[in-house]
Structure 1
Amino acid sequence: METTPVLIVGGGYAGLASALFLSHHGVPCVMVDRHYGISILGRARGINQRTLEIYRPLGLEQAVKEAGRPFEDESGVARCVTLDGEWQWLWGGDDESSRALPELTAGVFGLADQSTVEPILAETARKAGADLRFNTQCLSVEPDADGVTVVTEDRATGERRTIRAGYVIAADGFRGRIREQLGIDRPGLGVLRNFVSFTFRADLSGIIEKKALFWIIGGPGATANGAFASHALPDHWGVGVTYDPAEESPDDYTDERLADIARQMIGRDLPVEIVGKAAWVEAVGVAERYRDGRVFLVGDAAHVWPAAQAMGANSGVQDAHNLAWKLAAVINGGASDRLLDTYEAERRPVALELADLTVRSQQARFGPNPEDDPVDPIMCILGQRYRSTAMVGADHEGVFGETVQQDARPGTRAPHVWLDHDGARIGVHDLFHDAFVLLSASPAWVEAARAAGVRGYQVGQDVLDVEGAWPGRYRLDGDGAVLVRPDGYVAWRAEGASPDPRGDLAAALGTVLG
């Protein structure tokens, strides 16, 4: 019997991110995925600013930006009967998106998709020590009070293995079975539409002179209806079409039929080669709980909603980021098991809000009045707030406020400031990734942090406030301090000096870590 501290089921965005973040925290893990390897289908395009902010201190920023280079000239969404016909721009014919928000974050929005980013996550996780096993089916998951027994099967050889894990992360997607085996319901609107997506190769240089983010193809006179998008590979394109499962199945969509659909959407009889296809569903639902003993749901296993504003895959990565440091703290003996309850307490309310917002966003954007879209992308990306026992003194109500909070209150994302650290210009979130961090202009607080094993930075000494934003963003007097968690969220703040900074900090850490 093999043993591992954490076993991850599912090798998509959420599963690979879980392996990456756990390995970064020094936690050995095994990931199994039933697919032969990473999919060529260009799904979930869009790395939002918060996700890139998370990737930056792990050294992934440049690789992710390079992965998005094939899409860097794309913007807007167009509607047409065929690509060879007239396009109606629904929104944004020019690049109007706020990809860089230097007042709010060092992260920049990018258009890399899963087929290009997942290999980066996988390679980095492997280098950090993660054991990634593709073409490996999870047959059973049996949790008990002391761990989880998992049986896997190599799909190429039929070899079965029994793995004893301390914890299991279920990142097995919308159709994953672990959630159902645990008896966890996923209330919501349920399945909205069934899709077949496929990638094909064709030379469309004589038709597409400017690339949209995607095209909505259909309407009067159309012989095929669906969504059409570019792909990272040259001359590759992605299409999504709906089908009625009461009338047909994905198996009815042969390569010949898909090629014919592609030509109908293009509007010309061109050579078309099908290179990949998959079936999926557009659904809405949020699991009633994210934890069942030693098993945790992340990504689409925990929540699904329409593909609006790139909120789905990014939320899966951010689920994994929230959970990984907590698992690491418990496994390494630095926190109580109670800390793990805060994963659901923090991430599930966010999912409930986003599920509602994305449904209403899709209804508006594809309806007659797209200007009625209720989603404020910047707020949804950078304004998420938490309330749980893993912070001290959170006093806000609701996941989102009126604006992105910039006052370093417990439960909010630490406000962005540009810093000089050892001669390099960094964003403050580059400091938050593998340990608690205390920020203060007072040497007394920084000394107390270092004595407690917390990474401390004296503002004005260890790091320099290059734009003078620290006082206005953190709103402390010269003797105050802010404690930030490894995920970049404020855990506690001290408004001023203390007669016992070590004791106060130890008490705060004790509360946060359970």
Structure 2
Amino acid sequence: MENVNSYDESVPVLIVGGGYSGLATSMFLAHHGVRSLLVDRHAGVAVQGRARGINPRTMEIYRPLGIEERIKEAGRPFDADSGVVRCESLSSEWNWIMMQDSPRALPELTAGEFGMADQSTVEPILAETARAGGAELRHYTQCVSVEQDADGVTAVIEDRTTGKRRTVRAQYLVACDGYRGGIRESVGIERTGRGVIRSYVSFVIKADLSDLIEKTALFWIIGGGSVAGGFVTHAVPNQWGVALTYDPAVESPEDFTIERCAKAAQGLIGRDVPVEVVDKAAWEEAVGVADRYRSGRVFLAGDAAHVWPPAGALGANSAVQDAHNLAWKLAAVLKGQAGDALLDSYEDERRAVAVELADLTVRSQESRFGPTPQEDPLEPTLCILAQRYRSSAMIGAEHTGVIGETVDQYAKPGTRAPHLWLDHEGRRIGVHDLFHDAFTLVTGPSGDEWQRAVETVSGRTSVPVRAYRVGPASAAPELVDVEANWAARYRLGHGGAVLVRPDGYVAWRSEELPDDPAAALADALRQVLGKAA
């Protein structure tokens, strides 16, 4: 083991990249009491808001952190964005190719709601929440090199303002450095997929279009006129996003001067209106999934692990859900509650989902926006709420497909715990509000013996486990089943119980009360965590 004094600083987890996945990893680790350092080569959080749709599952995992309402307030209601339009310019006739007055809320399936907030408004909330929990974020700082050994990771980071370099020692590193980030290749992980499909220059403009746009769209696909490109709504009034494709074999992003961008925007608008370009960036639409999500003590998350077309708004949401899955596992290992094998389950679970979503989004993009409209293979509700896992971190998962045929999974191992509306100490909550920082054992109203089992197991282990009984108010449980859905959705026999992980996925179920509930629970935790409980 190298001498700690040879490093300028040490930290349990180093995160490289400050986009959605990096900020979410930092935030969730802080929620679990794990200190991290995030370095990002950019000067601050996102200025452009390419990622905007926030799905109910992501909102569901934001709720226990207390930021769901803040994100909703920072965004705008979905009914202000009513679909996708094809046209020759904003001034020409509009052809609605996707019409949705507003995505339907799903209160019978989740307490999370659909959200519409630009990345530029959400990232500051994630950053603030991470810092409030003790995380350190350093912008305009790049990771120059990464080396690892059996005991940890050594990284050299550089302040891009001063050029000063520091050596950081971490027990684990999470690479959130994007599709073009270098850490994946540096640790020998290949990527499979079609690669870059299109190259874009996107920019934000200020323009008063109130006399032109009476009903906004999610975005406009503009072609057939003087300019072809995309035009999108923005969180800031009178600001709009513009995206233009280019051929990197012929030109580069530097060829798109401010004057050229302003003229292109006027062409898309179809009128010679005053336009101010306030920000410009280059990006690529690509398809690819890393062959592995882990190399020793280095993990990939977000675009560093997977990229696909924007159909379904699943990219940024998947990045946050990667972070959510990985953070509790890193915390459990760092606290000595779990063995190293638990970390392997991150790849087993999240990579399988990524492979499936990459295929679905490519086909969805082609069906929606190709020359001949076809039936869209992407079923949003299932892709959002019916993702299923198989790994060592759950016992008895029997499903084969990654996306369930229905959201009704009946609390089977490897599935997201079914939603319930509950009354807890006089407050209406969703059951997933309880699943965030501990394992949770959920039973019916006759679960007294399970509660004693949790007390027994908790008394001899550092693994946090809570127990709740669910039932009608007349049974005086901790959680009152206000809509009487417990029995139908969890389908347990008399005295049965479900063990739910901190990420809201079912780890194990016992259909009936075993002879020794404490021994059964301890054995389940041992198998899931890879360490005796």
Judge same fold: TM > 0.5, yes or no. yes
1:263 aligns with 2:266: yes
Give, as a single letter, the amino acid of the residue that structure 1 aligns with 2:101. D
Q: Which residue of 2 aligns with 1:76?
A: 83
1:455 aligns with 2:466: yes
Q: Which residue of 2 aligns with 1:284?
A: 287
**Structure 2 Cα separation of the partners of residues 155 and 324 of structure 1:** 28
1:142 aligns with 2:147: yes
Q: Are the aligned partners of 1:72 and 1:111 in contact in 2 as well (CA < 8 Å)? A: no
1:466 aligns with 2:478: no
1:4 paired residue among 11, 14, 23: 11
- Which secondary structure does the structure 1 equivalent of 2:215 belong to? coil
**Structure 2 Cα separation of the partners of residues 447 and 60 of structure 1:** 34
**Structure 1 Cα separation of the partners of residues 55 and 404 of structure 2:** 20
Provide, for residues 270-289 of structure 1, a one-character-per-residue CA deviation record: whole Å limited to 9, x for no partner. Answer: 11111111111111000000
* C-alpha displacement of 1:405: 3.1
Root mean square deviation of aligned Cα: 1.0
- Which secondary structure does the structure 1 equivalent of 2:189 belong to? coil
**Structure 1 Cα separation of the partners of residues 282 and 141 of structure 2:** 20
Q: Which residue of 1 aligns with 2:47?
A: 40
Q: Are the aligned partners of 1:25 and 1:328 in contact in 2 as well (CA < 8 Å)? A: yes
Q: Which residue of 2 aligns with 1:129?
A: 134
Give, as a single letter, the amino acid of the residue that structure 2 aligns with 1:13. Y
Provide, for residues 438-464 of structure 1, a one-character-per-residue CA deviation record: whole Å limited to 9, x for no partner. Answer: 001211112212332311111131111
2:61 paired residue among 47, 54, 58: 54
Q: 1:36 to 1:96 in 2, by over 3 A?
A: closer
1:159 aligns with 2:170: no
Q: Are the aligned partners of 2:83 and 2:219 in contact in 1 as well (CA < 8 Å)? A: yes
Q: Which residue of 1 aligns with 2:3?
A: none
Q: Which residue of 1 aligns with 2:201?
A: 196
Q: Which residue of 2 aligns with 1:490?
A: 506
**Aligned pairs, number:** 510
Which structure 2 residues correspond to residues 411-426 of structure 1 after superposition, within 5 A?
Answer: 411-426=414-429
Q: Which residue of 2 aligns with 1:383?
A: 386
Q: Which residue of 2 aligns with 1:239?
A: 242
* C-alpha displacement of 1:401: 2.5
Q: Are the aligned partners of 1:439 and 1:446 in contact in 2 as well (CA < 8 Å)? A: no
* C-alpha displacement of 1:70: 6.8
1:427 aligns with 2:430: yes
Q: How high is the sequence identity, in percent, across the aligned residues? A: 66
* C-alpha displacement of 1:367: 2.1
Give, as a single letter, the amino acid of the residue that structure 2 aligns with 1:317. V
- Which secondary structure does the structure 2 equivalent of 1:227 belong to? strand
Q: Are the aligned partners of 1:70 and 1:232 in contact in 2 as well (CA < 8 Å)? A: no
Provide, for residues 134-180 of structure 1, a one-character-per-residue CA deviation record: whole Å limited to 9, x for no partner. Answer: 11111111111110001111111222111000000000001100001
Give, as a single letter, the amino acid of the residue that structure 1 aligns with 2:519. G
**Structure 1 Cα separation of the partners of residues 263 and 102 of structure 2:** 34
Give, as a single letter, the amino acid of the residue that structure 2 aligns with 1:448. A
Which structure 2 residues correspond to residues 271-310 of structure 1 after superposition, within 5 A?
Answer: 271-310=274-313
Q: Which residue of 1 aligns with 2:461?
A: none
Provide, for residues 305-346 of structure 1, a one-character-per-residue CA deviation record: whole Å limited to 9, x for no partner. Answer: 001111000000000000000000000000001100000000
**Structure 1 Cα separation of the partners of residues 203 and 41 of structure 2:** 19
1:102 aligns with 2:100: no
- Which secondary structure does the structure 2 equivalent of 1:472 belong to? helix
**Structure 1 Cα separation of the partners of residues 235 and 160 of structure 2:** 29
- Which secondary structure does the structure 2 equivalent of 1:401 belong to? coil
**Structure 2 Cα separation of the partners of residues 274 and 462 of structure 1:** 56
- Which secondary structure does the structure 1 equivalent of 2:18 belong to? coil
1:206 paired residue among 207, 211, 224: 211
Give, as a single letter, the amino acid of the residue that structure 1 aligns with 2:470. V
Q: Are the aligned partners of 2:20 and 2:319 in contact in 1 as well (CA < 8 Å)? A: yes
1:439 aligns with 2:450: no
- Which secondary structure does the structure 2 equivalent of 1:270 belong to? coil
Give, as a single letter, the amino acid of the residue that structure 2 aligns with 1:489. Y
* C-alpha displacement of 1:477: 2.1
* C-alpha displacement of 1:71: 5.8
Q: Are the aligned partners of 2:77 and 2:115 in contact in 1 as well (CA < 8 Å)? A: no
1:506 paired residue among 516, 522, 528: 522
Q: Compute the TM-score of the two structures, normalised by the length of structure 2.
A: 0.94
Q: Which runs of at least 4 in structure 1 moved beyond 4 Å after TM superposition?
A: none
Q: Are the aligned partners of 1:14 and 1:320 in contact in 2 as well (CA < 8 Å)? A: yes
**Structure 2 Cα separation of the partners of residues 483 and 210 of structure 1:** 47
**Structure 2 Cα separation of the partners of residues 47 and 143 of structure 1:** 35
Which structure 2 residues correspond to residues 339-418 of structure 1 after superposition, within 5 A?
Answer: 339-418=342-421
Provide, for residues 80-122 of structure 1, a one-character-per-residue CA deviation record: whole Å limited to 9, x for no partner. Answer: 1110111000011x51422x10111111111112111101000
